[in-house]
Structures are given as structure tokens and as C-alpha cells.
Amino acid sequence: MSATLLRGRTLSFHRRPEAIDDRVAWTYEIDGAVLVENGLIVDSGDYGAVKAKAPEDAVEIDHHPHLILPGFIDTHVHFPQMQVIGSYAANLLEWLNTYTFPEECRFVESAHASRIAVHFFDEMIRHGTTTAVAYCSVHKASADAFFAEALRRDMRMVAGKVMMDRNAPQGLLDTAETGYDETRAVIEAWHGKGRNHVAITPRFAITSTPAQMSAAEALVREFPDLHVQSHLSENRDEIAFTASLYPDAIDYTDVYARYGLLGPKTLMGHCIHLSERERDAMSETGTVAVHCPTSNLFLGSGLFPWKDLMRREKPVRVSVATDIGGGSSYSMLRTLDEAYKIQQLLGERLNPFESWYWMTRGNAEALSLADRIGTLDAGTDADLVVLDMAATPAMALKAEVVSSLSDELFLLQTMGDDRAVAETYVAGRPMKAGLAT
Ligand code: GUN
Ligand code: ZN
């Protein structure tokens, strides 16, 4: 395969920017380039310097005046909830029982799962998201459909068959034993195939019996390198129900700790209402708290204390995600816009550079995958997004007065969505043209 030289303005992060003027946290090239070969980034930086290293027959694509970044990463999304988005409910538990569980029952049909998987990956690409961490449904067929589609598109995806054996409709329940066996079968079939990663996925403590939590623990012991994902401390009624189901646990976080489910590969969705003790437990184990701003606002779950979690003596690792379909947008731009507003309500600042770090490198670090995705570093996967700050008439008008990179990022985050995504590259291949419009 011949090399491709992508020219444009390029931006990549080295670490989290601590302030808006923390210039050394990122590299920006006004005339930049990314050299891609065999799905990998070979070099990036100043156009002249990168071009000098490119083979003579490299195909050059000029994206000026657009901005080229690493593809967005979404660390918590439910693929069977595409048709749940926008369901009118008062709170999490009503939303789950009224809309979400009945909808997920439909994924027993593999034809349905395959159809929705195609739509899911189309939306990821349309929105510039090149890696997602997904919940499938309880049905093994849903995980098979998801990973088959990821493989077909050669995307780096993390996902798991949900384990849930109580407090849900019959059609959505496995057992401690079948949850274990089927998760194992999914790991054997898909983990490491293409760029697929399988995550061990007990849905949350309410829908897993102690026996199933032990089964999840056994899987974690057998496959210690795999990601683990679940939900934690999203809603006050959820917390109270969990406490009644696990009366011996100190608190909600302790339920997962007792079953060995906390750790540096564990992603806990929401984590809004954690006590200091729980925050310590998260920090000590390196567990990641995944903030889902559009979901938290939509379901009225609460305001994520992002800065408090990071600023403490024992900081908690964090990440940010859409949580479709509790979340209301596939766009990481819309997601960080809502995250910004939540921090405003809490009297905290989230500067544009920090937001863009989270969409890319920050989320890659949360997944312990920054050596593969989230930057423009040589040797990493050529998963990229190309952004147009003047994508709509209203954005173009605002763009007339943009005078700095910070202004541009903030404009894209505040007004942008899939229309601002000019192109999405997956392993070096442009993917937007292949989508149904
Ligand atoms: N807690 C358990 N399952 C879910 C889910 O599907 N969405 C959200 N937002 N919270 C959950
Ligand atoms: Zn979720």
C-alpha cells in the first residue's frame, strides 16, 4: 500500500494542559502534515520536514484550511440504545425499565443486532469517533454483530457482552454461569482479532447477583489485561437500591471492590455522588471515573465533580464519554460542550485545550492505549479526524472573528457537531464518503 501525506493544520497533545496558556502540553503546526503508511502514522510535524521523509510516490491530500487531529475517543456508549435516545423519563431507573430494557430485548435477533451495528459504526465515523468503548446487550449475538462490523471496518474498538442476571425482563437475563461462559466465548472469538478488544461487562450491581459478580471476578483473574466496565453512583435511588442488595458492603464502590473489579483497566460510568472514601478507593486502585455529561443532564442525574476528583491528594483518573442512549449526542464536540457547562454551574473552568485533550489523548490514557491511539505520534494508528470550523453558516460567521487556536477549538466545541467533521480516517483510510447520507 502506498504512503499518504495528509497536509493541513495539525494538533496533538503530549499531556493534559493545566491552563489555557500551557503551551508545552501540545504541538500545533500551521502548515503541518501526517505521513501514513500501512495504517500507521510514520511521521508528523512541519509539512516540509515530513514531506522530506515521504516516499516519492506518496499520495498527497491537502486539507487546508482544516484542522487534523487524532480521531475522537468515546469511552462509554451503549450500542443497543441507538433507538432509545430521547426517551421521556423522569430519572435513570424509570428510563431503564420503561424504554431501555425493552429495547435491548430486541437484540436477541442477530439480524437486528447486525443492522444496528452498521448504523452505529456509521455514526461513529460521521462524528469523527474512531475508538469507542461500548456495551453490547446481554445477548452474545449482539457482541458478535458488533465485533464483526468493527473488524470489517478495521476500527479499534473495546466492547463487551453485558452480564445481567436479575432485576430486568426475562428476555434480558443470563445467569452467573452463562454470563461467564458467553463472555469467555466472546473473548476467544474476538479479542485481538483485528483491532478488537473485549471488555468484561457486568452492567451494574443492581442487575448482577453476588454469584454473577463472582463470575465476573473469575474472568478478571483469568484475563487480567482486559478492560472492565460498569456503572457506579449515577443516581440517588440507584445508590439506595444497591445498598439494599449488598447490605454487607461499605458503599456502592465497595460492592465492586469486594469482587476484585476495581483496577487500572476498569472504567466506571458516571461516578457523580461518590463519598471521600469511595474516591480514595477509586484512586488507590487506578479505576477510571467516566463522565457522561449529556446523559447526566438528560436524566437529571447530577453534576460531575470533575475538578474535585482530579485536584485531591489522591486524584481519581477520569475520562469523558457520550453514554448514548442516556446521552443525547454521538458527538464528542457536543459532549465536551455540555461538560463545559456543567463545570460552569459548579464554578469551575474547563479550558478549550483541556477539553480537546480529553477527546483525544486524555481518553486514550484512560484506556491505557495512548501508545496506540489519541495522538499524532509516529508508530501509532492512523485514526484521524479533520475538522472545519466554518462548517455551517452560523459557524462561518463566528469564524470570521476567531483570532487564535483556542478561539477556534472553543468555536468547534460550542457550535460543532458531525457537520464540522470534514473527514474521518480509520487506519489511514478516508471513511466518510462510504456513509449513507
Ligand atoms: N446503569 C445501568 N445501565 C445503564 C444504562 O444503560 N445507562 C445508564 N445511563 N446508566 C445505566
Ligand atoms: Zn452507560
| CA 403 to centroid of ligand 2, rounded, Å | 38
- Rounded Cα gap, residues 248 and 266, in angstroms: 22
- Residue 271: the pLDDT is 99
Q: Could you tell me the three cell numbers for 420?
A: 464540522
Question: Would you call 27 helix, strand, or coil by DSSP?
Answer: strand
- Nearest alpha carbon, ligand 1 atom 8: 326
Q: Could you tell me the three cell numbers for 276?
A: 471521600
- Nearest alpha carbon, ligand 1 atom 11: 231
Alpha helix segments (H runs only) across 83-175 = 92-95, 101-105, 110-126, 140-153
**Furthest CA-CA distance within the chain:** 68
Q: In 3D, which of 77, 190, 192, 83 has the Cα closest to residue 127? A: 77
Cβ–ligand 1 contact at 100 (below 6 Å): yes
Question: What backbone phi and psi angles, to 5 degrees, belong to 231?
Answer: -115, 145
The atom number, within ligand 1, closest to the CA of 301 reads: 9
Cβ–ligand 1 contact at 204 (below 6 Å): yes
Residue pLDDT, tens place only, 340-364 = 999 999 999 999 999 999 999 999 9
Q: Provide the 10 A C-beta neighbour count for residue 233.
A: 25
Cβ–ligand 1 contact at 134 (below 6 Å): no
Q: Provide the 10 A C-beta neighbour count for residue 214.
A: 16
Cβ–ligand 1 contact at 103 (below 6 Å): no
Q: In 3D, which of 182, 126, 119 has the Cα closest to residue 149? A: 119
- Rounded Cα gap, residues 399 and 426, in angstroms: 28
Element (DSSP H or E) covering residue 31? strand 26-37
- Rounded Cα gap, residues 133 and 193, in angstroms: 16
| CA 308 to centroid of ligand 1, rounded, Å | 23
DSSP symbols for 316-378? PEEEE---BTTBS-S-HHHHHHHHHHHHHHTT----HHHHHHIIIIIHHHHTT-TTTSSS--T
| CA 81 to centroid of ligand 2, rounded, Å | 10
| CA 96 to centroid of ligand 1, rounded, Å | 7
- Nearest alpha carbon, ligand 1 atom 9: 326
**In which band, very low, low, confident or very high, does the pLDDT at 435 lie, cut at 50, 70 and 90?**
confident
Q: Can you tell me the mean pLDDT for 62-90?
A: 98
Alpha helix segments (H runs only) across 28-67 = 47-53
Residue pLDDT, tens place only, 241-297 = 999 999 999 999 999 999 999 999 999 999 999 999 999 999 999 999 999 999 999
Residue pLDDT, tens place only, 403-434 = 999 999 999 999 999 999 999 999 999 999 88
**In which band, very low, low, confident or very high, does the pLDDT at 437 lie, cut at 50, 70 and 90?**
low
Interacting residues of 154 by C-beta distance below 8 A, sequence separation 6+: 39, 194, 195, 426, 427, 429
Each as own residue / partner, the long-range contacts of residues 117-122 (CB below 8 Å, 24 or more positions apart, any chain) are 117/79, 117/145, 117/146, 117/148, 117/149, 118/149, 119/82, 120/79, 120/82, 120/146, 120/149, 121/149, 121/150, 121/153, 121/155, 122/435, 122/436
**In which band, very low, low, confident or very high, does the pLDDT at 1 lie, cut at 50, 70 and 90?**
low
- Rounded Cα gap, residues 98 and 405, in angstroms: 44
Cβ–ligand 1 contact at 273 (below 6 Å): no
Cβ–ligand 1 contact at 70 (below 6 Å): no
Q: Which residue has the cell 466506571?
A: 268
- Rounded Cα gap, residues 302 and 396, in angstroms: 34
Interacting residues of 200 by C-beta distance below 8 A, sequence separation 6+: 160, 163, 183, 216, 219, 220, 223, 226, 227, 228, 229
- Nearest alpha carbon, ligand 1 atom 1: 231
Amino acid at 266: T
Residue pLDDT, tens place only, 230-241 = 999 999 999 999
Q: Which of 93, 231, 328 to mutate to test the pocket of ligand 1 (most atoms within 8 A of CB)?
A: 231
Chain CA centroid to CA 241, Å: 27
Do residues 155 and 121 make contact, with C-beta atoms less than 8 angstroms apart? Answer: yes
- Above 80 in pLDDT, residue 436? no
Q: Which residue has the cell 483469568?
A: 222
DSSP-derived secondary structure letter, 315: P
Question: What backbone phi and psi angles, to 5 degrees, belong to 298?
Answer: -60, -45
Q: Which residue has the cell 478495521?
A: 154
- Rounded Cα gap, residues 27 and 11, in angstroms: 6
Sort 151 into a burial class: Cβ within 10 Å, 0-12 / 13-18 / 19+: middle
- Above 90 in pLDDT, residue 212? yes
